[in-house]
């Protein structure tokens, strides 16, 4: 090594070093090829663990995005219904307690009822008007601390005072006890000589003290008109403003200024 260092390029062992390199070099390369994967195993394991963790994160994120996408339509619909209730409150001047429909079906001998998730704890009691964003739903018939039973206006025992919006003619709107495509209402006018017209809007007549129905809430529109020759009167078939098989968010009319109101009479939401 001393002679080689002193000699530099002209070292007398340069030829020996070259020969050794020719022999040992391929062996070193082969050994490195064999050893490199073994020495790199810890790094490989660390990389695979990182990749698996990253894949799990991506799968979780993807699942969350799918859930958000699946709920987008539902959330948008709920928002539209809330905005619709606020608009109805502004138009009618009534304060509302928002509630969700949590059950539908027979209750207390009524064939067309729903149950909402608000009761006496929210200031509710029987004979309160229940509305949806589109119009009249029904009236409360029974309450518990946290729920209330609502008789729908399509029930065959329901009888709502209504008036034709453009000429103020009075009549009575009755249900036929069915839901879905047959959830039609019928209206008989107090003045038998008045002929209803198709597309005329029907709103609530209103009850004394607003119980069970307040005035001015849309009920529906005239879809058909039939003449009764025997009684010399006219009967109007009303298409309800509300789709009763798709009820979700509703509002119960409460006195203006009520501490339980979730939507004020001007459509604002208390802070």
Spell out the domain ranges in the chain.
2-39, 96-254
pLDDT of 37 reads 54
- For residues 133 and 218, give the distance between their C-alpha atoms in angstroms, rounded to a whole number: 10
pLDDT of 185 reads 93
pLDDT of 254 reads 94
Beta-sheet strands, E only, within the chain: 95-104, 113-116, 129-131, 136-143, 148-152, 159-164, 170-175, 185-189, 201-204, 218-228, 233-240, 249-254
Task: List residues bridging with 138 in a β-sheet.
Answer: 130, 152
Sign of CA dihedral 25, 30, 31, 36: positive
- For residues 203 and 186, give the distance between their C-alpha atoms in angstroms, rounded to a whole number: 13
pLDDT of 79 reads 84
What's the predicted TM-score (pTM) here? 0.71
Distances (CA, A) of 80 to 134, 249, 265: 11, 10, 18
Q: Give, for all 271 residues of the chain, the pLDDT tens digit.
A: 554 555 555 555 556 555 545 544 554 445 445 445 555 556 655 566 666 665 666 667 676 767 666 555 677 787 888 899 999 999 999 999 999 999 987 645 546 899 999 999 999 999 999 999 999 999 999 999 999 999 999 998 999 999 998 888 999 999 987 776 666 899 998 888 888 899 999 999 988 888 999 999 999 999 999 887 666 678 899 999 999 988 999 999 999 888 888 899 888 887 6
pLDDT of 204 reads 96
**Top-tier CATH class for 96-254:** mainly beta
């Amino acid at each position: 090594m001393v002679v080689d260092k002193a000699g530099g390029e002209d070292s007398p062992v340069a030829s020996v070093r070259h020969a050794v390199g020719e022999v040992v070099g391929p062996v070193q390369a082969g050994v490195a090829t064999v050893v490199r994967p073994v020495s790199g195993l810890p790094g490989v394991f660390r990389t695979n663990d990182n990749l698996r963790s990253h894949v799990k994160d991506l799968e979780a994120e993807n699942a969350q995005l799918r859930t958000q996408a699946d709920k987008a339509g539902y959330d948008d619909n709920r928002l539209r219904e809330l905005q619709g209730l606020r608009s109805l409150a502004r138009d009618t001047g009534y304060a509302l307690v928002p509630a969700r429909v949590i059950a539908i079906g027979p209750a207390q001998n009524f064939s067309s009822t729903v149950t909402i998730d608000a009761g006496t704890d929210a200031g509710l009691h029987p004979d309160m008007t229940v509305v949806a964003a589109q119009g009249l739903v029904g009236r409360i018939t029974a309450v518990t601390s946290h729920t209330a039973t609502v008789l729908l206006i399509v029930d065959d025992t329901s009888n709502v005072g209504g008036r034709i919006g453009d000429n103020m003619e009075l009549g009575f709107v009755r249900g036929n006890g069915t839901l879905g495509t047959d959830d039609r209402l019928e209206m008989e006018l107090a003045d038998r000589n008045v002929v209803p017209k198709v597309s005329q809007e029907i709103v609530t007549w209103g009850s004394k003290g607003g119980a069970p129905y307040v005035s001015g809430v849309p009920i529906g529109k005239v879809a058909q008109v039939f003449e009764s020759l025997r009684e010399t009167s006219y009967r109007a078939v009303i298409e309800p403003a509300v789709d009763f098989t798709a009820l979700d968010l509703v509002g119960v009319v409460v006195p203006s200024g009520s501490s339980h109101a979730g939507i004020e009479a001007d459509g604002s939401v208390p802070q």
